[in-house]
Amino acid sequence: MTAPLIDPFQRAISYLRVSVTDRCDFRCVYCMSENMTFLPKKELLTLEELDRMCSTFVHMGVEKLRITGGEPLVRKGIMTFFDAMTRHLETGDLKELTLTTNGSQLERFADDLYAAGVRRVNVSLDTLDEQKFADITRWGRLPQVIKGIDAAQKAGLRIKINTVALKGFNEDELFTLVEWCKSRDMDLTFIEVMPMGDIGNEDRLGQYWKLSDLRAQLAENYTLTDLPERTGGPARYVRLEETGQKIGFITPLTHNFCESCNRVRLTCTGELYMCLGQEDMADLRAPLRNNPANDAPLEAEIRNAISRKPKGHDFDYSRQSVDGRVSRHMSHTGG
Ligand code: SAM
Ligand code: SF4
């Protein structure tokens, strides 16, 4: 092991989120436009390069890897990569290997993911209504995702549902979603919609359902107790006393928890973003490809990038306009 990665604000970087593809089999309205243009395949890190990149981060103190995208499970051969990461779990250098998925391919991959050492999976799901699901994802089908969740639970994977809070879309399903997660023993986290990427004609401010409002609605039916649990990200948790459920809130807009941020994000082309909400990044693909047998230049570039990690993001809807917007899509940086 080398010296740990510490940024200028004394935050230890122990969590890497990796987007393994920008492609997806859905076209969620808040994430992509319907006719998205994807990157040429040659731009992407190969599976071997992803292995080398992630292994270097693990060597430098990263203990948690979250694989995301785009839809990570549509990347061809992706299980080879998961299987390769198992060795870091076995040595104990990596404490957790997880993924965020839309669930469409989970039925096929659940057992293999468990065998590779994955124990927890985040599944994104915004509605339990089949027609609304088809509308919001444009290309997705709810029954396929439910089958994926069934298979994942059967394989022994713990599921957390991530729901983007969307005004006028799933406000009426707040309690249905909470009760459904309770009935299936799944955690649930709500996410505020963020101003990422060009999504065509969709209206960001119109979509924005403040989680402080959502929380107040929840408190009409349940007793909420704040939990001290912190994961180094923007999520905060409450317990619903009546059911014992844990509910998370990811509120990058109404609150800003950047002071304890422990994470950085690697795109599928090898760019390292030190903050989801800022444009600064470091190209790690060049030092990786230019030095096939020597990791030192890559390590130096990673340290250099971490030394530039900003204090926080600038997303702001408070002036009734979308400020702090970043141009790249969530599917590129990895949500
Ligand atoms: N395709 C996978 C999925 O949907 O879970 C992984 C990638 S997706 C970009 C990761 C998460 O980002 C999903 O939970 C999705 O709902 C969320 N997301 C996408 N665009 C967003 C936006 N503009 N604001 C907030 N969350 C967003
Ligand atoms: Fe695909 Fe996930 Fe974006 Fe939906 S949120 S379009 S599933 S990458």
Residue 11 annotated as lining a ligand binding site: no
CB-CB contact of 208 with 192 (8 Å): yes
CB-CB contact of 137 with 27 (8 Å): yes
Residue 331 near ligand 2, beta carbon < 6 Å: yes
- Nearest-atom number in ligand 1 for the CA of 204 is 23
Task: State the average pLDDT for the chain.
Answer: 90
* 265 located within any domain: yes
3-state SS of the chain: helix, strand, coil percent to 5? 35, 20, 45
Q: Whose CA is nearest to atom 14 of ligand 1?
A: 124
252 phi and psi angles, rounded to 5 deg? -65, -20
99 phi and psi angles, rounded to 5 deg? -145, 155
- Nearest-atom number in ligand 2 for the CA of 24 is 1
* 88 located within any domain: yes
What are the CB-based long-range contacts (under 8 Å, 24+) for 87-90? 88/54, 88/55, 88/58, 89/117, 90/117
Looking at per-residue pLDDT, the higher value among 315 and 51 belongs to 51
Residue 271 near ligand 1, beta carbon < 6 Å: no
Residue 335 near ligand 1, beta carbon < 6 Å: yes
Looking at residue 230, what is its pLDDT? 81
* 8 located within any domain: no
Beta strands in 229-304 (DSSP E): 235-240, 245-250, 263-266, 271-273, 281-283
Lowest mean pLDDT, pick from 37-46, 133-142, 308-317: 308-317
Name residue 73's amino acid: L
Which residue shows structure tokens 């080879």? 80
Q: Whose CA is nearest to atom 4 of ligand 2?
A: 28
CA of 331 to the centre of ligand 2 (A): 7
Residue 103 near ligand 2, beta carbon < 6 Å: no
CA of 217 to the centre of ligand 2 (A): 27
- pLDDT mean over 56-63: 97
CA of 261 to the centre of ligand 2 (A): 24
Residue 24 near ligand 2, beta carbon < 6 Å: yes
* 22 located within any domain: yes
31, 214, 267, 328, best to mutate for ligand 1 pocket (most atoms within 8 Å of CB): 31
* 327 located within any domain: yes
CATH number at residue 62: 3.20.20.70
Residue 234, pLDDT > 90, answer no
* 5 located within any domain: no
How many distinct structural domains can be found in the chain?
A: 1
Looking at residue 135, what is its pLDDT? 95
Res. 321 pLDDT band, cuts 50 70 90: very low
CA of 206 to the centre of ligand 1 (A): 18
Full residue range of the structural domain in which residue 71 is found: 15-333
- pLDDT mean over 304-319: 75
Report how far residue 290's alpha carbon sits from residue 298's, in angstroms, rounded to the nearest whole number: 9
CA of 3 to the centre of ligand 1 (A): 33
Residue 117, pLDDT > 50, answer yes
- Nearest-atom number in ligand 2 for the CA of 140 is 7
CA of 124 to the centre of ligand 2 (A): 8
* 6 located within any domain: no
Residue 145 annotated as lining a ligand binding site: no
* 83 located within any domain: yes
Residue 320, pLDDT > 50, answer no
Residue 262 near ligand 2, beta carbon < 6 Å: no
